[in-house]
Amino acid sequence: MAADAPVSVAPRPCNEVPGLTQSFTDVSTLRAAFTDRKEIAILNAPLVSKGHVYYQRPDRLHIVTEAPARQSVTLSGARIKVVQADLGRESSMDLGASEVARAVVANMLLVLGGRIDALSSLYRCEAVPEEDAWRLTLVPLRDPLAKAVRKMDVRMARDGTLREVRVEELGGDASTMTFRDTVANRPFTDEEAKAYFTP
């Protein structure tokens, strides 16, 4: 075991783990490739999608799905635009119409943005140190997430880069989003910001 390996694997409250908050709060922009695997009760088989995600604090998010269908999502505040290239459809909607969807997206933004302070007020947050990463278990404290989500597991490298987010729902559905080629805190150029985040 390396000299600086964690001495204990018992979960500890997030706010008591030295260095954790600092690692999270430093994320202002993020680029990453992802694979998302959803296990949903209304489907016979898991639904797997792949693509890229681009994030800028506090509330700009752009997700490009390349498989199984080409789709892109642009989030600006509470407004979300979806372009389904394969179906030739483009739509936008206000997340305010569904408090669950709004809460899920808001939490995604908090995770991507490393808002451990905000997450700690919404979840019971426990951290387990791994060899070169943190594993956080987040259990919702209040509705509407508490009515829908059992827990969320977040794995993050010690350098602050996100690796995996797994969400387990109360109804048994689950989704696992795995990130790779993560680049944090590299500012977007004006062209990139326009291309990714224009609602």
Partner 1 sequence: MAWSLAQWRSVRLETDITRFLPEGNQRDRLALSGLVKATGFSRGLVIDIAVPDSMPSDAATDAAATMVTGLASDLASSTLFKSVRTGPGASTAEDFQRLYFPRRLAFLSDDPQQEVPRLFSPDGLAAAMRRLKDALVLPTGPLVKSLAPSDPLMSFADLLQRAEGGIAKLAPRQLNGQWYSADLRHALILTETTAAAFDTDAQRAAMVLVRDRFAARNAEAGGGYVLSFTGLGRFVTESEDRAKSDISFASISSTIACALLFLMFFRRLRFLVLAFLPVSIGVAAAVGVLAGFQGSIHGLTLGFGGVLIGACIDYPIHLLNGLRTPPEADDVAQKAAARAMRRNLGAGVVTSLSGFLVLCFSDYPGIREIAVFCMVGIAVAFASTVLFLPPLKPWLAPRPGGRPATAFHIPIDRALAVLRRHRAVILGLLVVMAVAATAMLPSLRLEQDARALDAGEPVTLAEDAAIRSHLPSSAFPRVVLASGSDLQQALARSDTVHADLAARRAAGTGPDFASMHALLPSAELQQGNLDTLAALPDPATLIDASLRSAGFRPERFQPFITELGRVRDGLVHPLLPSDLAGTSLDGLLQGFTFTHADRAYVLTLAGPEVTPGDLLDLEKPDGSVTVMDPRALVSSLVTSSQRQTLALVATGVLLNIILIAAVRRRPRLALATLAPTLLTLLVVTGGIAALGIPLNFLHVVSLLLILCMGIDLGLFLLDDDAGTAGGAGAAPTVLLSALTTAVSFGLMGFCRTSALVSVGVTVGVGIAVLGLLTFAVRALAFGGLREPT
**AA identity, residue 196:** Y
Question: Closest CB to partner 1 among 15 and 198?
Answer: 198
Task: In angstroms, give the least distance from the CB of 24 to partner 1.
Answer: 13
If binding is defined by CB under 8 A, does position 170 make contact with partner 1? no
- Tell me which residue of 119, 96, 95 sits closest to 107, measured CA to CA: 119
Preceding peptide of 11 cis, ω within 30°: no
Q: Among residue numbers 19 through 58, which ones bind partner 1 (CB under 8 A)? A: 36, 38, 40-45, 47, 49, 57-58
- Count of C-beta atoms within a 10 Å radius of residue 70: 14
Distance CA(26)–CA(160), nearest Å, equals: 8
Give Cβ neighbours of residue 169 (< 8 Å, ≥ 6 apart). Answer: 148, 149, 150
Distance CA(1)–CA(7), nearest Å, equals: 10
Cα 90 to chain centroid distance, Å, stands at: 24
Question: Closest CB to partner 1 among 30 and 128?
Answer: 30
**AA identity, residue 108:** M
Candidates 27, 133, 148, 162: give the one binding partner 1 (CB under 8 A). 148
Contact 169, 148 (CB under 8 A): yes
If binding is defined by CB under 8 A, does position 1 make contact with partner 1? no
Task: In angstroms, give the least distance from the CB of 65 to partner 1.
Answer: 6
Question: Closest CB to partner 1 among 93 and 183?
Answer: 93
Binding window for partner 1 (CB under 8 A); candidates: 12-20, 91-99, 125-133, 156-164: 91-99
Binding region for partner 1 (CB under 8 A): 36, 38, 40-45, 47, 49, 57-59, 61, 63, 65, 68-69, 71, 73, 75-80, 82, 84, 86-87, 89, 91-101, 104-105, 108, 115, 148, 173, 175
